[in-house]
């Protein structure tokens, strides 16, 4: 409530604003639009689910495109590829490549199923996220995913990313 | 003369003429002989000539909402890409947004979270700049083998426009950036709510919240009514249909900055947040799929660009890379924009290979494919900027070398 009041007062007085264009965003407006979920768990909603809970919704809403076992079908796979990143045919999947488990929630919530994004509620989303993690052998079938447990899941390729250290080319002149 | 009589007279005189001067039948009427027949009337919105055919090739996709079309760079002149030919890359289709209802929310680590209507943004101080936008995946096919048969197929996920909008810095000052705000995450209003994180320094340096492209409203495929323009950075962070910017203390690690748009190296690690597009150039004439009319004068033409500054030099080789000649650069050379290069050349009618390489103001020389794969392997998928070689046959045909 206090932060709401502060926002309100600032909005009206336009304190610190040079042009006074745009209006103060209300807490409700922000809540309705902000659906970002950060790797530390910020933004993850209340709710929970296990891989076992996720089977039904996955088979009805995801399997058509990603395969019954996540092996891929009309669209790319969600499992597999472990040990392939150094080979001539790398397979980048949630299991072999993704550094953060929170990204799966963030992405499924915002963009999947492809033709009906936003269809799943929080429990259903935690459940399919748990199932994808389980299909990749990262968590057990009965491990509950929620706002506390999901950010703690250590992804296999968590340490597989490096900073941009270019230019690594462009010095030589032949 | 009444109409009927006149026609008969014309027919008759035609026969006479035919008999007398062996003129062909179907000879032109007096009206048709006039030098300027009336043209089409004035119209409210222009279209190109019916004889012009340059287009973005539309691939046959099972889901046409997720895919790309490429700019036919070999059929554009100068440095500006017509908005209608700007490449497309969508992840969930093109939304149809009403600018009277669309808003931009700016919140997170700021003193005053603000909502801007499109009209609000147009009231603020505006800026126009010419910048290229290039998809990080442009030329991605060249990593495995330099196989792109023409410029569009191998380099067409790059375009250059004049963008007009409000500098993002102004919006951040209006909202009052908090010191803890080190990154922002921008989100589009497309069905997948495309989202990408960016360091705050870049936002304060030169980003635009753009509403216009080449003098008119941004095209729907390019983000109408609002898109983030992030000069010199990979296309995907130039978030289209921009609806929200949240100031945060760490990158959000969205799907398109982890699973996608990260560059796998030979050792199995992947570079992340490789935003800048390195210097690149390509010859657009003569280029793959074209045919030279015959030996003699040719103007070699091409485009060069760099996300790190201006193009300082483009060198062209017409003997497969043995010797190099400096091409003329079209002025003004603008930072993070296309630069047109030209070189007069006399083709002697024999088989040869031609190529170009760019040097930018950071002192970076566009590498060969070998140099790139030596440094990164062939699995990077994104950020390929190697030189492109075209092979000219004795018959004048031009192919991928």
DSSP state for residue B177 in the 8-state scheme: B
Of B111, B171, B173, the CB nearest to A10: B111
Distance separating alpha carbons of residues A105 and A144, to the nearest angstrom = 14
Helix or strand (DSSP H, E) at A109: helix A102-111
Per-residue pLDDT tens for A108-155? 999 999 999 999 999 999 999 999 999 999 999 999 999 999 999 999
Helix or strand (DSSP H, E) at A103: helix A102-111
Per the CB < 8 A criterion, the answer to whether B160 and B86 are in contact is no
Structure tokens at B388: 């492109």
DSSP state for residue B234 in the 8-state scheme: B
Structure tokens at B230: 């992030």
CATH number of A51-152: 1.10.760.10
Spans of all domains in chain A: 51-152
Distance separating alpha carbons of residues B159 and B83, to the nearest angstrom = 9
Of B115, B266, B364, the CB nearest to A29: B115
B107–A34 C-beta distance less than 8 A: yes
Distance separating alpha carbons of residues B242 and B225, to the nearest angstrom = 8
Per-residue pLDDT tens for B274-321? 999 999 999 999 999 999 999 999 999 999 999 999 999 999 999 999
Distance separating alpha carbons of residues A158 and B74, to the nearest angstrom = 43
pTM of the model: 0.92
Distance separating alpha carbons of residues A96 and A89, to the nearest angstrom = 13
Q: Is B43 exposed, middle or buried (0-12, 13-18, 19+ CB in 10 A)?
A: exposed
B174–A19 C-beta distance less than 8 A: yes
| Structure-model confidence comparison of residues B31 and A28, the more confident one | A28
What domains are there in chain B, each with its CATH number?
Answer: 88-270 (3.90.420.10), 280-400 (2.60.40.650)
B378–A103 C-beta distance less than 8 A: no
Per-residue pLDDT tens for A56-107? 999 999 999 999 999 999 999 999 999 999 999 999 999 999 999 999 999 9
What is the distance in angstroms between the Cα of A28 and the nearest Cα belonging to chain B?
A: 12
Q: What is the pLDDT of residue B32?
A: 72
Which residue carries 């130039």 as its tokens? Answer: B238
CB atoms inside a 10 Å sphere around CB B125: 9
Cβ contacts below 8 Å, chain A against chain B, sum to 177
Stretches where chain B sits below pLDDT 50 are: 1-22
Exposure pattern of B298-320 as b/e (b: 16+ CB <10 Å)?
Answer: bebbbbbbbbbbbbbbbbbbbee
Q: Residue A160: list chain B partners with CB under 8 A.
A: 268-270
Q: Which is nearest to B126 in space by CA: A19, A15, A14?
A: A19
């Amino acid at each position: 409530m206090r932060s709401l009041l502060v926002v309100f007062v600032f909005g009206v007085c336009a304190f610190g604003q040079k042009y006074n264009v745009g209006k103060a965003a209300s807490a409700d407006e922000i809540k309705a639009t902000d659906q970002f979920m950060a790797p530390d768990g910020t933004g993850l909603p209340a709710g929970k689910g296990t891989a076992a809970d996720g089977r039904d919704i996955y088979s009805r809403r995801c399997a058509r495109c990603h395969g019954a076992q996540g092996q891929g079908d009309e669209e790319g796979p969600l499992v597999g590829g472990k040990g392939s990143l150094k080979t001539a045919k790398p397979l980048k999947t949630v299991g072999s490549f993704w550094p953060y488990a929170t990204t799966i929630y963030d992405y499924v919530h915002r963009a999947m199923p492809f033709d009906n994004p936003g269809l799943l509620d929080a429990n259903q989303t935690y459940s399919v996220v748990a199932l994808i993690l389980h299909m990749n052998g990262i968590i057990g079938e009965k491990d509950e995913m929620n706002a506390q447990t999901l950010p703690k899941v250590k992804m296999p390729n968590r340490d597989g990313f490096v900073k941009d250290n270019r230019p690594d080319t462009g010095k030589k002149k032949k | 003369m009444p109409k009927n009589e006149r026609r008969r007279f014309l027919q008759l005189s035609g026969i006479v003429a035919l008999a007398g001067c062996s003129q062909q039948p179907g000879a032109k009427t007096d009206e048709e002989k006039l030098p300027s027949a009336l043209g089409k009337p004035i119209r409210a919105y222009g279209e190109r000539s019916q004889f012009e055919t340059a287009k973005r090739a539309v691939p046959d996709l099972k889901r046409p909402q997720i895919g790309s079309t490429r700019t036919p760079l070999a059929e554009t002149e100068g440095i500006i890409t017509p908005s209608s030919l700007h490449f497309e890359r969508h992840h969930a289709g093109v939304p149809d947004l009403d600018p009277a209802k669309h808003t931009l929310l700016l919140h997170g680590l700021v003193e005053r979270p603000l909502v801007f209507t499109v009209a609000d943004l147009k009231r603020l101080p505006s800026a126009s700049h010419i910048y290229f936008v290039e998809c990080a995946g442009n030329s991605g096919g060249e990593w495995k083998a330099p196989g792109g048969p023409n410029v569009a197929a191998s380099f067409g996920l790059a375009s250059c426009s004049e963008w007009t909008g409000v500098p993002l810095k102004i919006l951040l000052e209006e909202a009052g950036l908090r010191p803890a705000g080190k990154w922002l995450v921008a989100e589009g209003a497309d069905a997948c709510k495309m989202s990408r994180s960016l360091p705050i320094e870049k936002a304060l340096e030169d980003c635009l919240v753009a509403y216009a492209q080449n003098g008119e409203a941004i095209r729907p495929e390019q983000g109408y009514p609002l898109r983030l323009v992030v000069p010199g950075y990979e296309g995907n962070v130039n978030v289209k249909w921009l609806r929200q910017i949240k100031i945060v203390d760490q990158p959000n690690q969205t799907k398109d900055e982890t699973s996608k748009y990260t560059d796998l190296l030979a050792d199995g690690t992947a570079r992340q947040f490789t935003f800048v597009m390195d210097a690149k150039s390509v010859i657009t004439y003569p280029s793959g799929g074209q045919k030279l009319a015959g030996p003699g004068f040719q103007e070699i033409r091409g485009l060069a660009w760099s996300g790190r500054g201006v193009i300082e030099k483009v060198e062209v080789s017409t003997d497969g890379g043995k010797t190099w000649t400096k091409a003329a650069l079209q002025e003004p050379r603008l930072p993070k924009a296309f630069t047109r290069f030209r070189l007069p050349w006399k083709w002697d009618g024999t088989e040869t290979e031609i190529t170009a390489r760019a040097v930018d103001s950071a002192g970076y020389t566009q590498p060969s494919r070998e140099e790139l794969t030596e440094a990164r392997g062939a699995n990077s998928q994104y950020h390929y900027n190697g030189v492109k070689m075209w092979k000219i046959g004795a018959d004048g045909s031009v192919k991928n070398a």
